[in-house]
Amino acid sequence: MNGKQHSESKKAIIDITDFNVPMIWRFFQSAYREGYDEIKIIYDNNKKSYEGVYNYYTSQFAYARMGEKPKQQPAIEMIQELVNRFIGVAIIDHGDNYCTIKEMGDVSSKEFDNSLRRIFLLLQELFETVMDFVKNNEVDDINICKKLHSMDLNVDRFIDYCCRINNRINDSTFQKNKPIMFSTLFLLELLGDEFKYIGTHLAASKKNIAEILPFAEKVKDHFDMYYKLFYKFDRSLAIQFGKNDFDIYNEHFKWKDSKNKDANSIRRHFMQISKFIFCLTELRIEMEF
């Protein structure tokens, strides 16, 4: 992809007073993705502490059930933690009830291409890590959940960065596939989220879940096929992909009467991943026309 940046400077002000952590995330993430050069965050000085910004819902529910308490921190530390999660921006000024975040460098189409490739590699790594956990029957450990959440967080960083670049670059060659690319990034993000849910099930499981390994391997092969198609579209591989999708459905329904509830829960998430992969491939086919 080639392209040049919008030249005009964009500034945003976000007042996070009365926001909970998920809303702080969504507002800042939206301004970042939209390509704002400068974001000023205003907060309530009377509020002495905020919960940590990472894995909020998991901390409130899954981690809490496993005995962990959410951490608390001052506003500026919470915002610093938030900003550190996003590529290419930093806090450059702060006062009694505000801080200012600015872009620290230019974005380019080359960075988009490199970051998109990194997303694919990180997702492949997530597949392999989960399959190793399953193969070795590593369950009943909160650290499994934390590791997969940390890996998915890195996927999200690059997805947000690609969205930011996609909004900043503006010329005819880059413009053609912009809507498809936004949809692709959104689905890749949802696909990555499924590994967090799998991690929660693995961390809470008390049973051997090795029976799902063949199905997990088949879904990973499905993703690898999509990855190849994305970068080098091939009709024969697309035909093979269609057959593989049918095989995945057959394999999934073979296990519908399994009594292993933990394995069934994880299998359902792999099935959802396969559906996201099919939708992603549909978008890639659209890019051929």
The per-residue pLDDT for range 80-107, each reduced to its tens digit, is 999 999 999 999 999 999 999 999 988 8
The per-residue pLDDT for range 111-132, each reduced to its tens digit, is 999 999 999 999 999 999 999 9
In which band, very low, low, confident or very high, does the pLDDT at 176 lie, cut at 50, 70 and 90?
Answer: confident
Average pLDDT along the chain = 90
Q: How far apart are CA 119 and CA 158, in angstroms?
A: 6
Contact 34, 62 (CB under 8 A): no
Higher local confidence (pLDDT), 110 or 122: 122
Tell me what pLDDT residue 239 has. Answer: 97
Q: How far apart are CA 125 and CA 121, in angstroms?
A: 6
Q: How many other CB atoms are there within 10 angstroms of residue 217's CB atom?
A: 15
Q: How many other CB atoms are there within 10 angstroms of residue 103's CB atom?
A: 20
For residue 255, what are its two tokens? 């296990």
In which band, very low, low, confident or very high, does the pLDDT at 133 lie, cut at 50, 70 and 90?
Answer: very high
CA angle 114, 101, 191 (to 5 degrees): 40
Q: Is the pLDDT of residue 3 over 50?
A: no
Among the listed residues 65, 221, 81, 71, the one whose alpha carbon sits nearest the alpha carbon of residue 145 = 65
Q: Is the pLDDT of residue 58 over 90?
A: no
The per-residue pLDDT for range 8-43, each reduced to its tens digit, is 689 999 999 999 989 999 999 999 999 999 999 999
The per-residue pLDDT for range 183-238, each reduced to its tens digit, is 999 999 999 999 999 999 999 998 899 999 999 999 999 999 999 999 999 999 99
Tell me what pLDDT residue 54 has. Answer: 75
Higher local confidence (pLDDT), 169 or 244: 244
DSSP class per residue in 63-131: HHHTTPPPPEE-HHHHHHHHHHTSTTEEEEEE-SSEEEEEE-S---HHHHHHHHHHHHHHHHHHHHHHH
